[in-house]
Chains A and B, each alone.
Chain A
Amino acid sequence: MPQVFDIFLLEAVLNGLLLGGLFALLSLGLNLIFGVIDVVWICYAELIMVGMYTIWWLHTQQGLPLPLAFAASIAFVGALGAALHQFVIRPVLAAEPINQLLVTGGVLFLLQALVTVAFGVEFRNLGVRLPGVNAGEMSFSGSRIVAFAVAMVAIAATYFFLNRTYMGTAIRAISQDRAIMPLMGVNASRVYLLTSAIGGALAGLAACLLVLQYDVHPAIGLSFGPLTFLICVLGGLGNLIGGFLAAFVFAQLISVGGFFFQLEWGYVIAFAFFIATMFWRPEGLLSRRKAR
């Protein structure tokens, strides 16, 4: 019956909206790093995974209250991001871009393997259930709504930071002209380090939101990592607003596609859309950078 059909389609669309908020948060960190430092962290999803394990371990194994575990995740992954930059990225900043990609690829393996050694391959669940929300015949998971709300707040906060504070302006300035900024008296490596820490902290926050909805296991990064890259490229690598919009486009394709077909096909459609868009606008839908 068309009535029922519409309601569940609407539910899929709204779920896509909620998903989009989360994707937007994921892509924010990655875009920030790329826009400022010109490096793609292939291991970004694995940083999020480490955050998820941190929360799980602190809350279920050590009995820490959830808010503390969340805070620990944000702080820890933020520090991890800074360390990643300091010890892994900095030595290859001057090398070819592909080396930077590869070196973060190595970190991807490393992080996956370390958590496997520490926690095994089983799926780990946080054991926290948030009540669902019902609207008519549609039902929405409470954790998804919370994730959407927190993601929006975090994005707004980051936007505020970038546009209204001194450090934020320095970060934006460096991403506009990397060579000139040090001549203006800004310590570039300090800015890079701070940006890496912020990118890591955003990953830690994303971990908090994801761990409420999904079980964590060592390969979980592979399920949303490639997706995050594609969202960023679609919006134009380094373009924060483009990434924001692209996140919602992608989420809709996945949600509605998954509604009409099986779950995987939603992702396939999204990926196919991405490849098609690459033909049409190779620099990304809203890119301000050229392909060279």
Chain B
Amino acid sequence: MSKSRIVFAVLLAALAVTPLLGPGKYALHLMVMALLWSYIYTSWSIMGRLGMVSFGHGAFLGIGAYTVVMLWNLAGVSPWIGAVVAVALTLVVALLIGLPCFRFKIVGHYFALVTLALSEVTRLIIVGLRDHTGGSLGLTPKPALTDGATASLSALQFEDKAVWFYIVLLFWLGALWVWHRVDRSMNRLALQAISEEEDAAASIGIDVTRAKLTVTLISAAMTCLGGVLYAQYQLYVNPETVSGIGISLQMVFGVIAGGLFVMLGPTVGAVFLLLLSESLRVLIGNKVLGVDITLYGLLLVVFIIYMPKGILGTVLQRVAPGSGAAAK
């Protein structure tokens, strides 16, 4: 095995063992959140790194989160089935938006703004259906842990955070694997060619629409599952936190901060953002609202201007120039 693989395996083993060392609820919660957002950001980046920068992944996250909770609360449908429904719904939406966008060559600014519209429509629909979704006040899944039970597989609710840790760890590893597979696939090369010169790529026989759609559907479905996990873990969803432009921009920022073209970039970005907001909360507390977002904004601007490859990307470039999967 190559050196980097051994390092990765060791780190992974260390990570897997951590919950057993008794780190305490708060630390465990942070780790679950870090892994969950890493998973979600990686899902976004599968599309983002190949030239399809979407400002609308909040839509898929929201569909995932709200579908499972609503089906459970209103119809008693198990979140397992709810998740399948959510993914199906997400795929339909992604297809509805993606097909016309890619057939009619909507790229760049236009694509970003159309996807932005999508995330806002989703948020507005959630708020508009307030009789069923609770509107801006949010929604809580009905608790299934009665009579002192701490885990319910059918309702996908677990009190022990360690269980969630392993679930999310598996999903995160899954996302990395998908990233890796897409990276090695013909689609990746096709999409790189497309992003450089779409007409030339089409002229040598690349099915542009199909290539773009495949990656989009994968990314959307994965993000949707992230929403499902988020809802079941937090046991509270709210249109602002899981849909809309705010969370969509945060996803993009997280990936950019960590490094768009590197596999572990989104993970670094998620950890970075989480550490930032938590340490600000500890240092400044809730007395002065908005300081963490001030820093977010400032950092995003600074990063784009001076470090467009993100933290990990820039570090990798210094350490091993010429290696790495930087597309540009």
Give the B-binding residues of A (Cβ under 8 A): 40, 88, 91-92, 95-99, 101-103, 105-117, 120-121, 218, 222, 225-226, 229-230, 233, 237, 262, 264-265, 267-268, 271-272, 274-275, 278-279, 282, 291-292
The contact of A271 among B124, B245, B290, by CB within 8 Å, is: B124
Q: Which 3 A-B pairs have the closest CB atoms?
A: A110-B297, A106-B300, A116-B290
Interface residues of B in 88-129 (CB under 8 A from A): 97, 100-101, 104-110, 112-114, 116-118, 120-121, 124-125, 127-128
CB-CB under 8 A from B245, the residues of chain A are: 222, 225-226
Q: In the complex where A268-B125, A278-B101 touch, is A107 in contact with B107 (Cβ < 8 A)?
A: no
> How far, in whole Å, are A265 and B246 apart by their CA atoms in the complex?
21
Q: In the complex where A95-B308, A275-B118 touch, is A229 in contact with B128 (Cβ < 8 A)?
A: no
Interface hub of A105, A222, A272 (most chain B Cβ within 10 A):
A105
Q: In the complex where A105-B249, A264-B128, A291-B107 touch, is A114 in contact with B294 (Cβ < 8 A)?
A: yes
Q: How far is the CB of B266 from chain A (nearest CB, A)?
A: 15
The contact of A218 among B53, B290, B304, by CB within 8 Å, is: B290
Given contacts A108-B297, A272-B121, 4 further A-B contacts (CB under 8 A): A116-B289, A222-B245, A268-B128, A291-B106
A226:B117 contact, CB within 8 angstroms: yes
Question: Is B288 positioned at the interface, with any CB of A under 8 Å from its CB?
Answer: yes
B124:A267 contact, CB within 8 angstroms: yes
A278:B308 contact, CB within 8 angstroms: no
B114:A105 contact, CB within 8 angstroms: no
> How far, in whole Å, are A230 and B119 apart by their CA atoms in the complex?
13
> How far, in whole Å, are A262 and B117 apart by their CA atoms in the complex?
19
The contact of B124 among A91, A101, A268, by CB within 8 Å, is: A268
A105:B253 contact, CB within 8 angstroms: yes
- A91's closest neighbor in chain B, by CB? B305
> How far, in whole Å, are A264 and B112 apart by their CA atoms in the complex?
23
> How far, in whole Å, are A245 and B244 apart by their CA atoms in the complex?
27
The contact size tier of chain B is: 35 or more
A98:B53 contact, CB within 8 angstroms: yes
Interface residues of B in 275-308 (CB under 8 A from A): 288-301, 303-305, 308
A106:B299 contact, CB within 8 angstroms: yes
CB-CB under 8 A from B198, the residues of chain A are: 292
CB-CB under 8 A from A272, the residues of chain B are: 121
The contact of A117 among B100, B109, B125, B289, by CB within 8 Å, is: B289
> How far, in whole Å, are A233 and B290 apart by their CA atoms in the complex?
31
6 pairs, A vs B, C-beta closer than 8 Å: A95-B304, A102-B252, A112-B290, A112-B293, A265-B128, A278-B100
Question: Is B256 positioned at the interface, with any CB of A under 8 Å from its CB?
Answer: yes
Q: How far is the CB of B230 from chain A (nearest CB, A)?
A: 21
CB-CB under 8 A from B300, the residues of chain A are: 102-103, 105-106, 109
Q: How far is the CB of A94 from chain B (nearest CB, A)?
A: 11
Q: How far is the CB of B251 from chain A (nearest CB, A)?
A: 11
- A118's closest neighbor in chain B, by CB? B290
CB-CB under 8 A from A92, the residues of chain B are: 304-305
The contact of A113 among B108, B121, B291, by CB within 8 Å, is: B291
Q: How far is the CB of B51 from chain A (nearest CB, A)?
A: 9
- A120's closest neighbor in chain B, by CB? B289
The contact of B110 among A110, A116, A233, by CB within 8 Å, is: A233
Q: How far is the CB of A119 from chain B (nearest CB, A)?
A: 10
Q: In the complex where A291-B104, A291-B110 touch, is A106 in contact with B118 (Cβ < 8 A)?
A: no
B106:A278 contact, CB within 8 angstroms: yes
- B114's closest neighbor in chain A, by CB? A278
A97:B109 contact, CB within 8 angstroms: yes
CB-CB under 8 A from B294, the residues of chain A are: 109-110, 113-114, 117
> How far, in whole Å, are A237 and B108 apart by their CA atoms in the complex?
12
CB-CB under 8 A from B291, the residues of chain A are: 113, 117
